[in-house]
Amino acid sequence: MSVETSPRMPRSETGRIGRSALAAVAALLALIAGLALAEGLTRLFLPAFDPSGRFEFTYPVGTLMLGTPGTTARQIKNTGDYDVSVRINAHGLRDKNDVSTATPEEILVVGDSFAWGWGVEEMDRFSDRLQILTGRRTFNLATPTGIDGYSALLDYARSLDAKTDRVVLALCMENDLQLYGTRPDDEEVPPAAFPVRQWLAGHSAFYLLALTVVHQTPWLRDLAVKSGAIVPNLEGIAKQEEDPAIVEASADRLLDIARRYRALVVLIPSRALWVGPSRDVEDRVHKAFLLALQRRGIDVLDLRPLLEAKGTPLAYHFANDGHWNAAGHALAAEAISQHLAR
């Protein structure tokens, strides 16, 4: 009786597959070793790119995320727009003044990254300039958040025994208008996708170096823009939705704050008023929101006319970042101080 044997692959073919697999493994190991070497050399010889020395909001206070108390770090833009120092006080705030010592008639400034002073030195922020112009201590409570967060920041100040109720609330028209109060308490927020770029920016010095080289080398930057790897600053502006319900909900949420404090709401205009295809929509939303605040009796200062006065409103922003530069903060401080003096 014969026995059938299964066909076998020729030894030469098996050898080629084995050698290819070994070559692939060797190439992968070489790539990993090369990246590890590049990372180590970058941290050794270019410590400015070490992400461990860069600022992050990592300190939770209720629903807020503040700076880690007592830390000193740097905030750096890979495009070269800014490289500034950040010092965080014992309460997680970027402020040399201690809000727990705030007394009546002194000023609390609350807002998002604009008021926090994104990209400028602490002394150049409008809150610090306002202190000089008014002669009254000013306490900066800002952190990246929205109107609900602004209310939480003011509650935090009160929990620290701040006695003043004089508030300057800086509202960013690019992203602060929302349907506040419409999400049921038990509704789950969908989880965000894993932020690979954010993780690399927080862990890899070589990635930050490579990103800086791309941003500051014109032909590499153009190539990255064409491939979609980089979105130009003025093309990434958040667009407003022309929805009266959003305007009313945001104005009502500010009214809740204004009823508890002597609040001045300062409108930070959206850059989309001046660039992009939705300028007419942005103009209507801006005017509608300003009117909604005025109808509610909220004290409001609109910075749009001042920013547009010289015909170059974007000159008050960084070239590659949406936040105000030092000139923008100086303009805001002067306008706020004059408004408070009325």
The answer as to whether 109 is a domain residue is yes
- Report the chain's C-alpha Rg in angstroms: 26
| Best CA proximity match to 305, nearest among 287, 323, 317 | 287
Number of domains in the chain: 1
57-61/64-67 β-pairing? antiparallel
- The pLDDT > 90 percentage for the chain reads 64
The answer as to whether 76 is a domain residue is no
The answer as to whether 106 is a domain residue is yes
The answer as to whether 89 is a domain residue is no
The reported pLDDT for the residue numbered 326 is 98
The answer as to whether 227 is a domain residue is no
The reported pLDDT for the residue numbered 11 is 56
Taking residues 331-338, report their average pLDDT: 98
The reported pLDDT for the residue numbered 98 is 98
Q: What is the pTM of this model?
A: 0.82
CATH value at residue 148: 3.40.50.1110
pLDDT, tens digit, for every residue of 244-275? 999 999 999 999 999 999 999 999 999 999 99
The answer as to whether 290 is a domain residue is yes
The answer as to whether 2 is a domain residue is no
CB atoms within 10 A of CB 236: 9
pLDDT, tens digit, for every residue of 20-68? 888 888 888 888 888 788 768 767 776 767 766 688 999 999 999 999 9
Give residue 165's domain range.
Answer: 98-180+237-340
The answer as to whether 171 is a domain residue is yes
pLDDT, tens digit, for every residue of 139-170? 999 999 999 999 999 999 999 999 999 999 99
What is the overall mean pLDDT for the chain?
Answer: 87
The reported pLDDT for the residue numbered 12 is 60
